[in-house]
Structure 1
């Protein structure tokens, strides 16, 4: 069950986007529904962490996939899995498409959809826009120092 999807184009460098995703402790600065995030090691495939959504209980997650173009984090809920799949795809003229898809699987997905679905669906697009703005600003600041 797909809860939400969003994509947008940006001039931000893919490395900058992945750097921001990897700085999980700063997610609350651009991800409106996140109270805090702690990663148990360096940003790498297989590393685990804990995330606390605003207004909800903390949940454990795993960086299930991390390649040059994809980053998936998976939270195991009681009877369900919540996957945030992030992609970066070159399009043209130095631009990239950044996508986020949130999927819920497992036998208790209808229950979790009732609990989480509406809030997640509302936040994916604005959070993606905030991520892109942060990445573009970082790239502009870096270019200004060069």
Structure 2
């Protein structure tokens, strides 16, 4: 299994970040690499949504855990899975943002190269766009 993480801080409250991350149908408003997302049913543990990246095939994702202020989802990739952890912890006037990726399976090494390493490389830029979006919703 391959694992990587990204951490940063912001002044935006954890509640705002959690509200933004759990609005699954709006992810393309802050992630320029997403064409669209579509929640199937309710936003809760065990729920599912479809994520269509720009230039790629749609991916089915299961919400593994969801509680304030943490969301864990698992993308079902061909012959591999990718778990993403989004966690927000408020300490005083600062919110600590933690994002973790885990990729495993027969083709895990391939998905690490195609998706995982790029997500970590672009995490600072993507997180800034996410925080800017969460600040105004």
Give the TM-score normalised by the residue count of structure 2. Answer: 0.89
Kindly indicate whether the alpha-carbon contact (under 8 Å) linking 1:6 and 1:128 is maintained by their aligned counterparts in 2.
no
- Deviating beyond 4 angstroms after TM superposition, the runs of 4 or more aligned structure 1 residues are none
CA offset at residue 69 of structure 1?
2.7
Kindly indicate whether the alpha-carbon contact (under 8 Å) linking 1:80 and 1:108 is maintained by their aligned counterparts in 2.
yes
Aligned residue in 2 for 1:80? 80
CA offset at residue 57 of structure 1?
0.5
Bigger Cα Rg: 1
Aligned length: 136
Q: Which runs of 5 or more structure 2 residues have no equivalent in the other structure? A: none
Aligned residue in 2 for 1:49? 49
Give the TM-score normalised by the residue count of structure 1. Answer: 0.84
Higher helix fraction (1 or 2): 1
Aligned residue in 2 for 1:129? 128
Aligned residue in 1 for 2:21? 21
> For 2:69 and 2:22, how far apart are their aligned partners in 1?
13
CA offset at residue 118 of structure 1?
3.9
Q: Which runs of 5 or more structure 1 residues have no equivalent in the other structure? A: 139-146
Higher strand fraction (1 or 2): 2
